[in-house]
Structure 1
Amino acid sequence: MSMMDTKISQDGSQTKPTILVVDDEAGPRDALKVILRPFFNIRSADNAQAALNVLSHESIDLITLDQKLPDRQGIDLLQDIKHDHADIEVIIITGYGSLKSAMEGIRHGAAGYLLKPFNVTELISLISQTLEKKQRLDLLRKVLTNSAALWAGDEEGRRAWETLKTSYFAIGKREEQDSPSGSPDILPLLSDLLEAKDRHLLNHCSRVSFYATLLANRLSLTLAEQKSLAIGAFLHDIGKVSLKNYHYSDEPILPSGESAYSKEHCEAGARMILPLEYPAEVGQIISYHHERWDGSGYPHGLQGEGIPLLARIVSIAQMFDHLTAEVPGRSPLPVDQAIQQIALQANTYFDPMLADQFARVATECKASLPAMAIATTPSGVSGQ
């Protein structure tokens, strides 16, 4: 295996990662234990309650989770695990007939799935990749907790980013992929940074990039503008990683669909990406996506066409997602009602031309919109 054979414990010694195998059938459970024991510390549970008992007493790095348990559905247990133990990665073990629910598990935070009967090499490879991902996320969680330098701007921020990039790309010997411009593509790091803060925040940003691109397809944008829009929409809420104790599902959403959360995240996000040398339009989206057509927005009260075009597009896309997304603790609007809400706020919140175009394109593909947006991944914006 890779460097993930070991992890560093608090006293500085090296220990094997610990995996919890959750399966009610003795055969598959024992098979997994035999396969994994040479590489990992193994715990096991044959039902959901037993798994929760293990989690309450032991430090677990990764769980292999069977979908069918005697006392609960695996998907329900997964949601509890990700809510209470966000730093534990979960791999779903499933039969082919349950592939759809395995994909549902990915939406609820599972790192991956494996079909029964599984190939041993694929199993070891997926676990190794997942533990490397956990190591990257743990690094980023520590940085977010202990350092404010990333959103300091200027030279302090530049030094913090260089240090972080070195540490991040060293994990699993992950290489920085150069973009055509010759500068490193650090979008994977930024995607992981959003996930390290809150998985629901990452999903929101992915969907907003999808909706912004959907609208942009109706406009005469240059190729450079299209790329800046996809990246800027994905990073529009990157400033929220600077907020202490932030949880996406706790954001109060007004009846209009507007988030009533911290207004500082726009400028914090713009400061964050300054050292990353993205096009100016990306920073404008982050800074101005809460500006409003009638001048009532923030942070600067820009008005009408004084708001950059790409920021006006993302303003609509992020509002639509707040209205329609399935988020714990919120009741999403049907797509039709969300489109109507956007249309009602044309000329006040939104550029009326863009609101009209969005209503048209969203209406045309409303039957498949939520599924299409959910299936979108951050890699969709990496083609720089």
Structure 2
Amino acid sequence: MMTDAADRTKPTVLVVDDEAGPRDALKVILRPFFNIRSADNAQAALDILNEQPVDLITLDQKLPDRQGIDLLQDIKHDHADIEVIIITGYGSLKSAMEGIRHGAAGYLLKPFNVTELITLINQTLDKKRRLDFIREFLHSSSALWGNEQDSARAWEAFRNGYAAIGNPSHEESPAGEDTRDWLPLLSDLLEAKDRQLLNHSSRVSFYATLVANRLNLTAAEQKSLAMGAFLHDLGKTSLPAYRFADDQILPSGEAASCREHPDIGARMILPLGLPAEVGQIVSYHHERWDGKGYPHGLQGEGIPFLARIVCIAQAFDHLTAETPGRSPLPIDDAVRYIAGQAHSQFDPQLAALFTQVITECKASLPAMAIATAPSRVSEP
């Protein structure tokens, strides 16, 4: 009875590997710490996931009935709360990095030692506990995007609960004292809603920063631009069934899952004490140069300057992002689209600068953009 009770408190790990030797070795290593299930092909793994709860999967990339990356995409689509660690040989490192983009929490290169394996699994399970807490909080409370007073109380409860679980932000400090104090929670908040939303937000911040390097911005403006670009879609965390891959792309090149998300996001960050420029970016990143944008119909230089940069960066990423079920535009075509929308959708001077920067960086752009997403689980 004692053993059964202890087993019920252990996380469950599913080992997916078509080779009996490595599969059995992982089972022997992990069994003292976790409840273990195993599968030797993709279909068997899916059957287990549909029949019983699983916390984490170790996934080999080569399976007899399909590629591991394809199975990973199915898992993250239908079981987004299950974390996946890719086990790979050095020759497949590029595929492992591709897996990170599609939602894997981390990877291990063969051969690995037992300590490295257990450490990564425990770090990933710690992360899962944080994300599960956030998902439940979002499900049970809408106060984060309510009025300012309710939102401030909700953020306090949210941050205290997050800290009680254990998170990478280490020290407590008053809201707004240092925006870096909010980054671990805000990053996890985006990921808890949709890993692809986090990746999109990271890439948009990266593209905006590329442009900022060519502009005469102060250090404070550059910091606000990077933060605002990262949080521009924060309001989408309020949508119950949001998926980044399902964001409809309009003929204008803009995503249109919720035209209210800029206002919702701006309300959400009010209690955080972030610079005003961050809130402006969140509020106005879908305004258009010709005044036909939303939610306020601002026009031309009436749109805050930093928001105009993020408007271009987020549109470019929606056009070029590789996500399940969506065919991205080649970079050259996306650049032509941005240039063609100068004077209508985009600030013409910023559009010209953006296309110049992207064209100059084109050869290394995909690798640099991918590098903005987390590749391994961070030390807690």
TM-score, normalised via structure 1 length: 0.92
1:341 CA drift (Å): 0.9
Within a 5 Å distance, the mapping from 1:217-232 to structure 2 comes to 217-232=213-228
Separation (CA, whole Å) in 2 of partners of 1:142 and 1:234: 23
Deviation at 1:260? 2.7
Amino acid at match of 1:350: F
Identity %: 75
Q: Measure the CA separation in 1 of the matches of 2:275 and 2:46.
A: 47
Amino acid at match of 1:369: L
Residue in 2 that maps onto 1:43: 37
- State the match for 1:159 in structure 2: 153
Task: State the match for 1:22 in structure 2.
Answer: 16
**Inter-CA distance 152–192: structure 2 relative to 1 (3 Å threshold):** same
Q: Which residue of 1 aligns with 2:320?
A: 324
Matched positions, count: 369
- The C-alpha deviation readout for 1:305-351, integer Å capped at 9, x for no partner, is 11110000000001111111112222211111111111111111111
- The 5-angstrom pairing of residues 361-372 of structure 1 reads 361-372=357-368
Separation in 2 of the partners of 1:317 and 1:237? 12
User: What's the offset of the Cα at 1:256?
Assistant: 2.5
Which residue in 2 is equivalent to 1:291?
A: 287
Aligned-partner Cα distance in 1 for 2:333–2:177: 45
Note the aligned Cα RMSD (angstroms).
Answer: 2.0
Amino acid at match of 1:273: I
Higher alpha-carbon deviation: 167-176 or 68-77: 167-176
Alpha-carbon offset, residue 175 of structure 1: 4.2
- Tell me, in whole angstroms, the C-alpha distance in 2 between the residues paired with 1:179 and 1:115: 38
User: Which of 277-286 and 114-123 deviates more?
Assistant: 114-123
Gapped regions of structure 2 (runs ≥ 5): 376-380
- Aligned counterparts of 1:68 and 1:228: Cα–Cα separation in 2: 43
Q: What's 1:88 paired with? A: 82
Alpha-carbon distance in 1 for matches of 2:374, 2:217: 21
Cα pair distance change 1:197/1:352, threshold 3 Å: same
Determine if the alignment matches structure 1 residue 119 to structure 2 residue 103.
no
1:69 corresponding residue in structure 2: 63
Per-residue deviation at 1:353? 0.8
Aligned to 1:261: 257
Cα contact 2:89–2:110 (8 A) shared by 1: yes
Is the 1:234–1:378 contact (alpha carbons within 8 Å) kept by the matching residues of 2? no
Partner residue, 1:5: none
Distance 1:320 1:174, change over 3 A: closer
The separation in 1 between residues aligned to 2:247 and 2:42, in whole angstroms, is 30
Q: Distance in 1 between matches of 2:121 and 2:24?
A: 17
**Alignment partners' CA distance in 1, 2:53 and 2:34:** 13
Alignment of 1:1-384 (within 5 A): 15-172=9-166, 174-177=168-171, 182-183=177-178, 185-377=181-373
CA pair 329-147 structure 1, distance change in 2 beyond 3 A:
same
Q: 1-side partners of 2:235 and 2:23: how far apart? A: 43
1:277–1:14 CA distance, 2 compared to 1 (3 A): farther
| 8 Å CA contact 1:153, 1:274 repeated in 2 | no
Deviation at 1:173, TM superposition (A): 5.9
